[in-house]
């Protein structure tokens, strides 16, 4: 493992510390990898979203890119921040010529669920609208086996198609 990149929340940092110790690398905390701000929806259970916010809550659980939570971060802004932060961190790893102790240039990512689902869509070429199903699957830790010196399959810009966008207000 060449590096472990982590969002800056406590759970991500602690998980990254464990993974970094196992891989014998010091995790790098990247502030721009933090989860999308859900504004007034922070701390609200998924089951409550549909009840309290009707159409917008239900739509968000199906496709998070279609709704901006009240006083939350717009999905386009979140996606742009996440992509830029990830690109900067990967370029930093590349510029340092970091490689794992086994010569494998894998990079571990420790992200919160929404960020994780978005990055998985980018890396697999899946439509961003598939985030809802990825979030329901709850995949585990993400390991990027691609060469940090090769071209990453991240998009150049965080463009997000927002079919049927809804206001949550």
Q: What is the pLDDT of residue 167?
A: 44
Look at residue 96 and tell me whether its pLDDT is greater than 60: yes
Average pLDDT, integer, range 114-131: 83
The CATH architecture to which 3-167 belongs is: 3-Layer(aba) Sandwich (3.40)
Residue with token string 């990512």: 109
Q: CB under 8 Å to 94, separation ≥6 — which residues?
A: 148, 149
Q: Between these two residues, 166 and 110, which has the higher pLDDT value? A: 110
Given its phi and psi angles, is residue 138 left (phi above 0), alpha (psi -120 to 50 degrees) or beta? left
Q: What is the pLDDT of residue 44?
A: 85
Look at residue 143 and tell me whether its pLDDT is greater than 80: no
Name which of 43, 24, 32 is nearest 8 in CA terms. 32
Counting residues of the chain whose pLDDT is more than 70, the rounded percentage is 76
pLDDT tens across 2-44, in order? 788 999 999 999 999 998 898 888 999 999 999 999 998 888 8
pTM (two decimals): 0.77
Which of 60-74, 77-91, 126-140 comes out lowest in average pLDDT?
A: 126-140
Q: What is the pLDDT of residue 105?
A: 60
Counting residues of the chain whose pLDDT is more than 90, the rounded percentage is 20
């Amino acid at each position: 493992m060449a590096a472990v990149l982590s969002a800056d929340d406590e759970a991500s940092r602690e998980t990254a510390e464990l993974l970094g110790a196992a891989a014998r690398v010091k995790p790098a905390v990247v502030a721009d990898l933090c989860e999308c701000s859900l504004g007034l929806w922070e701390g609200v259970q998924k089951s409550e979203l549909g009840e309290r916010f009707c159409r917008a809550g239900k739509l968000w659980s199906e496709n998070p890119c279609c709704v901006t939570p009240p006083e939350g971060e717009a999905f386009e802004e979140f996606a742009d921040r996440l992509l830029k932060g990830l690109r900067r961190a990967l370029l930093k790893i590349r510029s340092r010529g970091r490689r794992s102790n086994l010569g494998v240039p894998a990079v571990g990512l420790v992200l919160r669920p929404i960020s994780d689902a978005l990055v998985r869509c980018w890396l697999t070429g899946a439509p961003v609208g598939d985030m809802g199903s990825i979030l329901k699957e709850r995949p585990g830790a993400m390991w990027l086996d691609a060469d940090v010196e090769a071209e990453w399959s991240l998009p150049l810009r965080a463009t997000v198609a927002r079919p049927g966008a809804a206001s949550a207000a």
